[in-house]
Amino acid sequence: MNKIIISPSILSADFANLERDIKRVEDAGADWLHIDVMDGHFVPNITIGVPVTASIKKIAKLPLDVHLMIENPDKYIEPFAKAGADIITFHYEAIDNDDDIFKLISYIKSFGIKAGMSIKPKTEANVCFKFLDELDMLLVMTVEPGFGGQKFMEDCAEKVKLIREKNKNIIIQVDGGINNETCKICKEYGVNSLVAGNYIYKSDNIAQAINSLK
Ligand code: DX5
Ligand code: ZN
């Protein structure tokens, strides 16, 4: 069986105790740290930016999986790469044309890091097929981006199956409403990375929660 990369979303952590909450998931067997960057334009919420990401880099042992839910992502690749992102995921819906998407993928990789692209719930799977060979990761949103703690949308997870049929090697990640039940559906469709915020951080036993996703 392929290894499942578990990426806890620190959006659900206690920001007054961020170092403690990062260590908690690192000690509990997480693989990456998922950092949700929101700009109040692409999504209605504002969260974490470059300075906090740079501070996280100083204390984190795990790779930083940076999910940009922002307009004009091209302007922020260099700052986030320099802040220590190991993988940067931008949104398909934030870029107007395919040529610019190809350029953005190469640009991210030029920093020696992984490039990911995400699709929102209403975006069809087939729009991303042409980019799969260039991308390291495709992130299928299973909630409308913007907030943690929302309900998993199963019809979104079905898109994973179509994408997996086109590419056997790419990392396919799901994000939104992932728990010990919804993760099973996603794995059947061919996911190999799971983001989970509330399920992990609101659990009484973080190691058990992470294990239950694997
Ligand atoms: C939503 C974010 C998610 C969110 C996941 O816009 O991209 O990463 O934090 O939180 P849960 O797992 O609680 O749905
Ligand atoms: Zn996310």
100 is catalytic: no
Ligand 1 centroid distance, CA of 198 (Å): 8
**Could you give the percent of the chain with pLDDT greater than 70?**
99
| Whether pTM exceeds 0.85 | yes
Q: Measure the CA–CA gap between 196 and 214, rounded to whole angstroms.
A: 12
Residue 151: which residues within 8 A CB-CB, separation 6 or more?
A: 143, 177
Q: What ligand is nearest to the CA atom of residue 153?
A: 1
Please report the atom of ligand 1 found closest to the CA of residue 196: 12
Asked whether 166 and 129 are in contact (CB, 8 A), the reply is yes
Catalytic residue selected from 36, 39, 65, 136: 36
DSSP 14: -
Please report the atom of ligand 1 found closest to the CA of residue 144: 6
Q: Measure the CA–CA gap between 61 and 106, rounded to whole angstroms.
A: 26
Cα dist from 161 to 17, 46, 165, 189, 190, whole Å: 38, 32, 6, 5, 6
Asked whether 95 and 105 are in contact (CB, 8 A), the reply is no
What digits encode the pLDDT tens for the residues 2-25?
Answer: 699 999 999 999 999 999 999 999
Catalytic residue selected from 39, 65, 136, 175: 175
Helix, strand, coil content of the chain in percent (nearest 5): 45, 20, 35
- CB 67 near ligand 1, within 6 Å: yes
36 is catalytic: yes
What digits encode the pLDDT tens for the residues 103-134?
Answer: 999 999 999 999 999 999 999 999 999 999 99
Sign (positive or negative) of CA dihedral 62, 23, 83, 47: positive
How many secondary structure helices (H) and strands (E) does the chain include? 8, 8
What digits encode the pLDDT tens for the residues 144-198?
Answer: 999 999 999 999 999 999 999 999 999 999 999 999 999 999 999 999 999 999 9
Question: What would the 3-class secondary structure string for 22-36 be?
Answer: HHHHHHCCCCCEEEE
Ligand 2 centroid distance, CA of 36 (Å): 5
- CB 167 near ligand 1, within 6 Å: no
- CB 121 near ligand 1, within 6 Å: no
Total Cβ atoms within 10 A of residue 134 = 14
Q: What is the pLDDT of residue 7?
A: 98
Q: Measure the CA–CA gap between 212 and 214, rounded to whole angstroms.
A: 6
Q: What is the pLDDT of residue 113?
A: 98
- CB 198 near ligand 1, within 6 Å: yes
- Count Cβ neighbours within 10 Å for each residue of 5-38 and write b for 16 or more, e otherwise: bbbbbbbbbeeeebeebbebbbebebbbbbbbbb
Asked whether 33 and 9 are in contact (CB, 8 A), the reply is no
- All domains of the chain in start order, with CATH: 5-213 (3.20.20.70)
